Amino acid sequence: MYKLIDGKAIAAEMREEIKNAVAEFKTNRGKDIGLAVVLVGENPASQVYVRNKIKACEQVGIKSYSYYLPADVRQEQLESLIRGLASDGTVHGILVQLPLPAHIDASRVLRLIPVSKDVDGFSAENIGKLCLNQPCLVACTPNGVMKMLEKENICVRGKRAVVVGRSDIVGKPMAMLLINADATVTVCHSKTRDLKAQCLGADIIVAAVGKPKFITADMVGDGAIVIDVGINRDENGKLCGDVDFENVKDKCSYISPVPGGVGPMTITMLLFNTVTAAKRSSD
């Protein structure tokens, strides 16, 4: 019998802890914790993500500053905004919602975010520190996966983990976190030969592929722990993950659902990173 990893419940519990930490910061330092959210253009998915992030900030008492810029904003205008936020002592975290319009050089913009305010954990320095297992701001989604494993008392040490997907924002930092937690990690991608054999040998599978129901029951060994990062629509337009949940679940010891799994953890880890950044700031 499998156990469902309830990301929604874990996220709710963590948000209560974060709320207390935010209140404590205010008492001790006499100021709010601030997160600046920058959205360029009118991408509907980005608008939803930004709205949810602002709402989550409100719930835990983090002050959010939102900046909505038109799709045709000039590179210099956007850069000047980020420079201002970088030196603003009331702003502890800066989030630039991606993707940015094609005419904007996104990496130049992101490089202007100080490492200490990079609450997405996407900067080369934060990723480098993660590789060196040094304190840093860690990418929210993979860090959320680690928190889910931790809250379920799943010991990662010595386990064989297969991460399917090697993106800079999910797969690669996920693999690093698992290595740092003493798992034996294999990273698979679109050029991997015999993905099924790799997955069948895994104690833990983290699926971050972006293909609906891609991990099927024949790829999962008995008793495996399966974490589904994917957010996709199935053939009927229904939200689903990268794992064929209905057919895979009975083979698992633990499995996270979509929705209600990793998704709620991602924004929670953004709040967590913002509090971490604020606590480390000297202002």
Q: How many residues bind to ligand NAP according to rule CB under 6 A?
A: 25
| Planar angle of CA 55, 59, 64, nearest 5 degrees | 55
Contact pick of 20, 107, 190, 216 for ligand NAP (by CB under 6 A): 190
Number of Cβ within 10 Å of residue 132's Cβ equals 10
192 binds ligand NAP (CB under 6 A): yes
- d(C-alpha 162, C-alpha 204), whole Å: 6
The question of whether 120 is a catalytic residue gets the answer: yes
Question: Least distance to ligand NAP from the beta carbon of 61, Å?
Answer: 23
Closer CB to ligand NAP, 53 or 117, in the complex: 53
> Which tokens sit at 252?
């698992």
208 binds ligand NAP (CB under 6 A): yes
Q: 44-60 and 262-280 are packed helices; what angle lies between their axes, rounded to 10 degrees?
A: 60
Using only C-alpha atoms, the chain has a radius of gyration, in whole angstroms, of: 19
- d(C-alpha 97, C-alpha 165), whole Å: 22
276 binds ligand NAP (CB under 6 A): no
167 binds ligand NAP (CB under 6 A): yes
**Per-position x/- string for 96-135, each x denoting binding to ligand NAP as judged by CB under 6 A, each - no binding:** ----------------------------------------
- d(C-alpha 271, C-alpha 283), whole Å: 19
Q: Exactly one of 6, 118, 120, 203 is catalytic; which is it?
A: 120
- d(C-alpha 283, C-alpha 281), whole Å: 6
189 binds ligand NAP (CB under 6 A): yes
Active site residues: 53, 97, 120
Which residues lie near ligand NAP (CB under 6 A)? 141, 164-167, 169-171, 188-192, 195, 208-211, 229-232, 262-263, 266
